[in-house]
Structure 1
Amino acid sequence: MSRRKRERESPDMVPFVGRVARAMVKRAAEGDLEALVALRAMQSAIDAATIDAARALHGHASTEYGGSAYSWTGIGRVLGISRQAARQAFGRQGSVVSDVAERETPLFDMQEDA
């Protein structure tokens, strides 16, 4: 039995994330200071996920899904940076997403002040 290849939904997520970010900007423009805090937390989460994804593409994690590891040159090329910059930015080991999740506080309280 062969494993079914995972569907790729990344391109579909980009417009969604953009809509969420624009909604937070609108909330901030209406005077919601917590929206700014939420945007900053979203930025941190996306940065951490980018680091983990680059490490997975470069390391052995990508081979678990039938792919092969990418070079720092290839990763840098798609991000518009040099091989050296890619290696410096993403080369350290460990999961950044889990570290961010452990230290982040809730984005904002969903209850409105009375």
Structure 2
Amino acid sequence: MNSRRNVVENDEFGAFARRIIRAYARRVAAGDIEALADMVALSEDLDTAIGEAVTGLRTHRQRYSWEEIASRLGISRQAAHKRWGGERRDGADR
């Protein structure tokens, strides 16, 4: 398993992003119903970004396995592959 982390500031960056999202939710909850659709779009953007991150981990020179990725997410290897794997447009398995 690859246990070395190359980018140590990701923990702080992730915490910052979570604080922004929670603050955005509070603003919408305070009565900005028009922004609700934007929040849903943000959720879709996050799902896309997660897929890009997984693809990057799979194709990076270290080639993380589905088992390594799944273990970090607390899901099975099969579940990770089902959600983010499969056939790419070029026909290569992710």
Relative to the length of structure 1, the TM-score reads 0.64
Asked whether the 8 Å contact 1:28–1:35 carries over to 2, the reply is yes
What do you get for the CA RMSD once the two structures are aligned?
Answer: 1.8
Give the letter for the 1:26 counterpart. R
Find the counterpart in structure 2 of residue 77 from structure 1: 71
Where does structure 1 differ by over 4 angstroms across 4 or more consecutive aligned residues?
none
- Answer with 1 or 2: which has the greater Rg: 1
**Distance of 1:18 and 1:34 partners within structure 2:** 21
Count of aligned positions: 83
* 1:13 equivalent in alignment to 2:13: yes
Which residues of structure 1 form unaligned runs of 5+?
1-5, 95-114
Answer yes or no: is the 8 Å Cα contact 1:25–1:35 preserved in 2: no
Q: CA deviation at 1:85?
A: 0.7
For residues 78-93 of structure 1, the aligned pairs below 5 Å read 78-92=72-86, 93=88
Q: Which residues of structure 2 form unaligned runs of 5+?
A: 1-5, 90-94
Structure 1 CA distance, aligned partners of 2:12 and 2:29?
27
- Offset at residue 76 of structure 1 (A): 0.6
Question: Relative to structure 1, is the Cα distance of residues 46 and 29 closer, same or farther in structure 2, using a 3 angstrom cutoff?
Answer: same
CA contact (8 A) 1:76 1:83 kept: yes
Q: CA deviation at 1:57?
A: 0.8
In the superposition, the TM-score normalised over structure 2's length comes to 0.75
Shift of 1:47: 0.8
Quick one: percent identity of the two aligned structures?
A: 36
Tell me: higher relative CO, structure 1 or 2? Use CA pairs within 8 A at least 6 residues apart: 1
Given residue 69 of structure 1, which amino acid in structure 2 is its aligned partner? Answer: R
